[in-house]
Structure 1
């Protein structure tokens, strides 16, 4: 019975889509200790332009920018948690990569906070789409 359940769960693994923000998506942790969600994308755009667009897109997505340092390419932001005084941090690193840029995402939920992998994955992709526009 356990082997059958393991075989069924194996089929639930994320399938490659050809969309880097989805395909590079990873998670670590869980509900009790907290969870870290990561992804990254390569963009055909200079890093300084991607950095500027990333900040604007985060604000449009409901994040508050805590700090942004263009020299290091780091953006620290947070989003309020419904019915709580806690926040969920989002960090973005934008760096030069070849003739374009690489944008890396890290979103964290603290212990006892919950969101689905799909919601975060879709959020990363919306931010990527916003940067590309």
Structure 2
């Protein structure tokens, strides 16, 4: 391997003096303390910032910790279908606190229809409304 001097407007100058590496020479240590103490916090802040800009941190966090239930900041919408063969007829209640409140409301709506055991009807609880697409509501999860 050769080293040389490079000047503005010129290429490398040849002949160059060879670089000799002595096996006894110590390799300078990698500055790991600088990497972990100065650069890593900046990379973490950058990653979290990109997550907030391009991702959906509320939905992602809810999926991590509240996979089958509502996160504390999410609302639950209840849908009761008196006839499970005709899903166009339904009763609904929005902005319930959690999935248990949804189930309680559905049981009371079914009891009012004379279907205490939900033999004829059906229900679902939509957790974390994401968006409306025309007449359709999109939820993070739907549970029974």
- The alignment's TM-score, normalised by the length of structure 1, stands at 0.25
The answer to which structure, 1 or 2, has the higher relative contact order (CA under 8 A, 6+ apart) is 1
**Structure of greater Rg:** 2
- Higher strand proportion: 1
